[in-house]
Amino acid sequence: MKLVKDIEKTFKDSEKISEKEAEEAFVKIIKWLGENPKREGLKSTPKRLIKAYREYFKGYSEDPAKILEKTFGDVQGYDDMVIQKNISVQSHCEHHMAPIIGVAHVAYIPNTRVVGLSKLARVVEVFSKRLQTQERLTMQIASTLMTALDAKGVAVSIDATHQCMTTRGIKKEQATTVTNYYLGQFKEDLSYQNRYLRFISK
């Protein structure tokens, strides 16, 4: 794991791209499309794209584990699942950089501590704001919650539309993709898994 992180850091340090270089790349793309990047409606577009992309992909500069550092031990023996439903997901697929729009449902079974409810949504947000596949996104959220909270179990489900297949390619506008990932008691005990699925389907 450390080797992977060291390689990623070396890549980021050696391949650092300036804002000016990124703007120039957007200018080239606008020209490639057959447009004039100097016309009134487009001359500020590269700068606007920089601002938009910084927002779309802000997850690269955030650490989801840090979000979960503050937990609360005063749970008075609560040992059943905590579920947060209908967390909005806005991500981008890594194959076409097209939007992925949907909802995530997250559940965990506390061990000795719980975390503030907003932190669950923030973890979803951090991983969503990166180039993603839905399968990996689902697993990253679950694995991070399981490890950081030392939970007895974690379940994550995402139901989303992928604009790479709804607005281009096969163009199936009504198609959605559902992914599920279970860890701990949710994986080992089907009664937990079934209860979770009933709760999120209501």
Active site residue 134: yes
Catalytic member of 162, 163, 185, 193: 162
The question of whether 95 is a catalytic residue gets the answer yes
Q: Which of 134, 140, 163, 193 is catalytic?
A: 134
From the list 92, 105, 140, 164, the catalytic residue is 164
Q: Which of 23, 62, 84, 94 is catalytic?
A: 94
Range 32-68 burial, b when 16+ CB lie within 10 A, else e? eeeeebeeeebeebbeebeeeeeebeebeeeebeebb
3-state secondary structure of 187: helix
Q: Which of 93, 125, 185, 193 is catalytic?
A: 93
Whether residue 93 lies in the annotated active site: yes
> Could you say which of 23, 62, 84, 96 is catalytic?
96
Among residues 55, 95, 135, 188, the one annotated as catalytic is: 95
Say whether 162 is catalytic.
yes
Per the CB < 8 A criterion, the answer to whether 107 and 83 are in contact is yes
Nearest to 26 by CA among 4, 1, 5, 54: 54
DSSP 117-182: HHHHHHHHHHHHSSEE-HHHHHHHHHHHHHHHHT-SEEEEEEEEEEHHHHSSTT--TT--EEEEEE
Is 92 one of the annotated active-site residues of the chain?
no
Could you tell me if 110 and 151 are in contact, meaning their C-beta atoms sit under 8 angstroms apart?
Answer: yes
The catalytic residues are: 93-96, 134, 162, 164
